[in-house]
Amino acid sequence: MRILLVEDDQMIGEAVQLSLKQMGYVVDWVRDGLIAESVIGSEHFDLVLLDLGIPGKDGLAVLQHLRRQKSTIPVIIITARDSIQDRIKGLDAGADDYVIKPFVIEELAARLRSALRRSAGQTEPEIHIDNVVINPITHEVKLQDVPVQMSAREYAIIESLLLRPGAILSRAQLEERLYGWGEEIESNAVEVYIHSIRRKLGNQFIQNVRGVGYFIPKPNHSQ
């Protein structure tokens, strides 16, 4: 899962980036609103953490621009602006949530997971695909109620495909969700991870359309 952090405070930025990376997220960090607009328009992110008081272009203006462009990417505002009027402006501009600094990273992570679930149309924390159960909170995967050990990148592939079950993602699209800026991408990494996932969860868990990409079939039901 790839997150864009837009924050000009060095201490906060480093702390949030490190903490979310330790939770298994890919986190890219920019400190300027104009740069944020540019990279959101050219690269894939699953969610944006957006400070309001940033140089280049105010965070609220960045958010308004995104929504005018019909972008549906989830956006959580993280800011020291704590007045009711500021919160109303942020939410009315299209923010999915509004978090006041200072915040506890565990609460921010919970709000992040909630926003991602809503964007994927999921109401329950656990996702059931036949006899496989995935818990996005703990990153735990079970096959027939037995825990299955997954590497961080194996889990990231599963989670990326589960955001839109049935939708096909190409190898390049999966790479974009697995690697942040400056990380080296091995040429066959996606195929290796998918082979490992299939070995653990069954060959039909992740399916592919030759020459197009990979998908997880839509679950018959969610619990």
Q: What are phi and psi of 3, to 5 degrees?
A: -115, 140
pLDDT of residue 53: 93
Residues 143 and 108 reside in one and the same domain: no
Contacts 24+ apart (CB under 8 A), 120-126: 120/162, 120/163, 120/164, 122/222, 123/222, 124/222, 124/223, 126/223
Q: Is 49 a domain residue?
A: yes
CA 88 to chain centre: 25
Domain containing 164 equals 127-215
Residues 20 and 107 reside in one and the same domain: yes
Q: Of the residues 86, 119, 152, which one is the last residue of a structural domain? A: 119
Q: Is 22 a domain residue?
A: yes
The total of structural domains in the chain comes to 2
Give the CB-side neighbour count of residue 159, counting CA atoms within 13 A. 27
Residues 17 and 111 reside in one and the same domain: yes
- Stated pTM of the model: 0.73
Q: How many helices (H) and strands (E) does the chain have?
A: 8, 11
Can you list the positions of beta strands (E) in the chain?
2-6, 26-30, 47-50, 75-79, 97-100, 127-129, 132-135, 140-143, 146-148, 207-209, 213-215
Neighbouring residues of 123: CB distance < 8 A, sequence distance ≥ 6: 117, 222
**Are residues 221 and 128 in contact, defined by beta-carbon separation less than 8 angstroms?**
yes
pLDDT of residue 223: 43
Residues 20 and 108 reside in one and the same domain: yes
Q: What is the CATH number of the domain that holds 142?
A: 1.10.10.10
Helix (H, G, I), strand (E, B) or coil at 221: coil
Q: What is the pLDDT along the chain (223 residues), one digit of tens a residue?
A: 889 999 999 999 999 999 998 888 889 999 999 999 999 988 889 899 999 999 999 999 999 999 999 999 999 999 999 999 999 999 999 999 999 999 999 999 999 988 987 876 666 667 787 788 888 777 889 998 899 999 888 998 998 888 777 889 999 888 888 877 767 777 788 999 999 999 999 888 999 998 899 998 876 644 4
